[in-house]
Structure 1
């Protein structure tokens, strides 16, 4: 929202332009206080039961007797336990094993077994047998065989078909399981298909993550003043997420001025000038492990956009609003593509290649390409209770980029936006 000098306030010798609509997203008890979740314990427990049930139902559809998960996002979905999530993304040393007709077992990093106490989805907690080269060195093969023996001993009494799904294994441990008579299925696809349909409780948890994200965006808005660096503004989102119980940010996508084009540059120590466009994508994994993936663009100092900025912003809004308006449950990806907003030729070289994507505990399937990139063989159907993010990136040769994105739940009648942080007024 554009503010005049008369409506501005002065702080520490610099002019701070404020938008009351955006300030409203800060904690009403004071911006210096974190947000505290109002989610009842029963809501969380219902979400946990639902998610494990979704995984087991999908396993049965696949005739899959066991599901072995190393991806910390999938483990969080299954059991709602998190422990050193970023570290274990590149050091796979804890895992979840779910039997279709048996127990759900958490293999936890040694010394951390207690972090899973009280989680209702876990039937048994064991210490994980790690075979990381980092800690095993020349003993990797020996430890890997002991790990595979333990998995086989648990699974075989429950495994009629010999089919087990795994989401992330390097060639050597996969070969160890195969040598014990198992057929390996793609556990990542299984997990993402299960994660696609959200329960009402999951939506409630996601709404809270979005609430925290929008409080962080309001902080970013308040400090978007001349003389600030991109990193300084981006840090406000980290701060709000961390102090309100969130997890991490998947990217560092905030840039300003000419650094917005081409897209996908990470935030830097670039000092932003008045009137330059600030564009960002939150990619925030927040409280309860859910993702708030929102994008906005505004001018530094919140001054009036110039003619080119207005043109680009209006096109981005048109894309978002049009693509939101056409979504219906039962629509195939091909139908969505055929009806989707057509990006003008001058913007095509700088486009975002996705028109929409699924969102849950991270960005997830389906990723529906923008029409210039759509493959006619790409199949699937939009279903009720999916959460889809609608994307727009608009730029042309020599211009800044406008990045907008909204998060919406598919309903029986269309979509319901889950975020409400205001767009800019042109």
Structure 2
């Protein structure tokens, strides 16, 4: 797929309209998924200022350090309608912002993850402008994926599925979690990802910690192993998938609660359709787990949105009454974690469709015994 199908002037135009509707005069967006969403530029977060200045009624200007200009020029930024302006070391880039916006702006939206030193410098550069979060403006644009974005996530899903299908090559007794994770990371790149975002390999009692990561612990026969992996594709869209494996026959208590988890994950996927709330999908999994007596062992929300960020809206969690709409993409990943013993999680990325739901991870969710 050509990047123009993902990164087009339509995004800047939609962001201008949303900015005006929010009562803001401009958005100021630094290196982030928001910047990449709007311009296609995957900028490094540096002490040198990179900033998209997007007035609600004017020209988009991407301010970059002079040494980063070649990278910005190689991105889709100019083709989507952003003019590039660079600054050299020793100059004050906030003077450029002041010159572009001056005293004509009274309210600006700043990137949600902008560094504090930049927020304060922009406050000094634009003293008459109140500051708000740009996420409130951009969230609605990024929440519903276009068909081109769903295609990108579908490709990411196939790529990470291919890595899970190779797990038998790497996951075996006598190897450490870290050794397996290194092989998985190479496999993620070999499957077409541009970057490896995370590799969780959690064996035995480590599996009871949802974000364990990896350690030098040696994997033993008979242990369940939670493998949660993901990366970003060259177009920036992310993968994320968890499967649970067992090295030989699983412990009886583990097999019993894995069956509960499997049913809960399938029930949550089946609950996805337009109009159903995010919290109702969470409840579809959580209620079954609680009824089986493992409610306290389900430690986290059922899911998170995914796109250019690995975690973004919508969040599939109690208290989120957002109705699902076609194009919303998110994980369904209930888990059960028994401290000091073992744990399990099953995660698929799904997208809400006009007719219900599509799983973007299509490999089996049954327990895999190696």
Range into which the TM-score falls when normalised by the shorter chain: 0.7 to 0.9
Instruction: Give 1:156 shift.
Output: 4.5
Change (3 A) 1:246 1:425: closer
Aligned counterpart, 2:22: 62
User: What is the count of residue pairs matched by the alignment?
Assistant: 357
Does structure 2 conserve the Cα–Cα contact (< 8 Å) formed by 1:97 and 1:105?
yes
Aligned counterpart, 2:313: 365
Match of 2:336 among 390, 394, 401: 394
Aligned counterpart, 1:123: 82
**1:201-220: per-residue Cα shift (whole Å, max 9, x none)?**
11111222222222222333
| RMSD over aligned Cα atoms | 2.6
**1:105-156: per-residue Cα shift (whole Å, max 9, x none)?**
22223312112325212431122577xxxxx8xxxxxx6xx33332122134
Gaps in structure 1 of 5+ consecutive residues: 1-38, 131-135, 137-142
Match of 2:121 among 169, 173, 184: 173
Verify: 1:98 aligned to 2:54, yes or no: yes
Does structure 1 conserve the Cα–Cα contact (< 8 Å) formed by 2:107 and 2:130?
yes
Q: Matches of 2:87 and 2:325 in 1, distance apart?
A: 37
Does structure 2 conserve the Cα–Cα contact (< 8 Å) formed by 1:213 and 1:237?
no
Match of 1:237 among 152, 166, 184: 184
Does structure 1 conserve the Cα–Cα contact (< 8 Å) formed by 2:52 and 2:61?
yes
Q: Matches of 1:51 and 1:233 in 2, distance apart?
A: 40
SS at match of 1:422: coil
Instruction: Give 1:340 shift.
Output: 5.0
Does structure 2 conserve the Cα–Cα contact (< 8 Å) formed by 1:197 and 1:385?
yes
Instruction: Give 1:421 shift.
Output: 2.2
Q: Matches of 2:213 and 2:362 in 1, distance apart?
A: 25
Q: Matches of 1:307 and 1:166 in 2, distance apart?
A: 52
Aligned counterpart, 2:215: 268
Q: Matches of 1:129 and 1:339 in 2, distance apart?
A: 55
Does structure 2 conserve the Cα–Cα contact (< 8 Å) formed by 1:391 and 1:404?
yes
Q: Which moved more, 1:190-199 or 1:317-326?
A: 190-199
Gaps in structure 2 of 5+ consecutive residues: none
Match of 2:239 among 287, 292, 314: 292
Aligned counterpart, 2:366: 424
Q: Matches of 1:204 and 1:154 in 2, distance apart?
A: 37
Q: Matches of 1:185 and 1:129 in 2, distance apart?
A: 29
Aligned counterpart, 2:156: 209
Aligned counterpart, 1:6: none
Match of 1:79 among 39, 43, 52: 39
Match of 1:224 among 171, 182, 186: 171
Change (3 A) 1:169 1:183: farther
Q: Which moved more, 1:308-317 or 1:407-416?
A: 308-317
Q: Matches of 1:235 and 1:391 in 2, distance apart?
A: 24
Q: Under a length normalisation based on structure 1, what TM-score does the superposition of the two structures give?
A: 0.76
Change (3 A) 1:319 1:174: farther
Instruction: Give 1:70 shift.
Output: 1.5
Q: Matches of 2:282 and 2:142 in 1, distance apart?
A: 23
Does structure 1 conserve the Cα–Cα contact (< 8 Å) formed by 2:207 and 2:337?
no
Instruction: Give 1:390 shift.
Output: 0.7
Q: Matches of 2:294 and 2:87 in 1, distance apart?
A: 51
Verify: 1:184 aligned to 2:126, yes or no: no
Instruction: Give 1:350 shift.
Output: 2.8
Q: Matches of 1:393 and 1:338 in 2, distance apart?
A: 13
